[in-house]
Amino acid sequence: MKELTFGTLIAVFEEIFGRALFWAMVAAAVLVTLAYIYVLVRDRSVSWRKFLLAQLSMPFGAVAAVLFVQVMTSSHLRDLGGPVDLIVLLGVAGMGAIGAAILVYTLQSLLFKKAAT
């Protein structure tokens, strides 16, 4: 692999997760993002109570993302080979944490009545 292109990244992710699961995850991410934008526009302000609860979900999202990637790649923490592997693992954890916070905030806003800020 001489150059890293967007197409190459998609091919690698399809190989890791399988084509159907990868595109299902992309679709889920797009839907949650659109729902989050809808909630922000609809409410016209951030509910700090919902934001705090969403932040409390972040460690669970980080752990879930790391475990999910480890299962999909048939790897373990003992397989970390160097600094790049650790950076990728921390990136996966960070994205899982952010994704969990956005998902929890969006679900709270869509499923429960508007709370006082």
For residue 85, what pLDDT is reported?
A: 86
Residue 1, domain member (yes or no): no
Total structural domains in the chain? 1
Residue 116, domain member (yes or no): no
φ/ψ region of 44 (left if φ > 0, alpha if ψ in -120 to 50, else beta) reads: left
For residue 66, what pLDDT is reported?
A: 93
For residue 68, what pLDDT is reported?
A: 92
For residue 114, what pLDDT is reported?
A: 62
For residue 76, what pLDDT is reported?
A: 84
CB 79 within 8 A of CB 44: no
Could you tell me the end-to-end alpha-carbon distance of the chain, in angstroms, rounded to an integer?
51
Picking from 44, 41, 39, 42, the residue whose alpha carbon sits closest to that of residue 104 is 39
Q: What is the pLDDT along the chain (117 residues), one digit of tens a residue?
A: 678 889 988 998 888 888 999 999 999 999 999 999 999 899 888 888 889 999 999 999 999 999 999 888 888 888 888 888 889 899 999 999 999 999 999 999 999 866 554
H runs (alpha helix) in the chain = 6-17, 19-43, 48-56, 58-73, 83-111
Residue 95, domain member (yes or no): yes
Residue 117, domain member (yes or no): no
Picking from 65, 71, 73, 56, the residue whose alpha carbon sits closest to that of residue 90 is 65
Residue 22, domain member (yes or no): yes
Task: Give the domain range for residue 105.
Answer: 6-111
Residue 72, domain member (yes or no): yes
Say if pTM beats, i.e. exceeds, 0.85. Answer: no
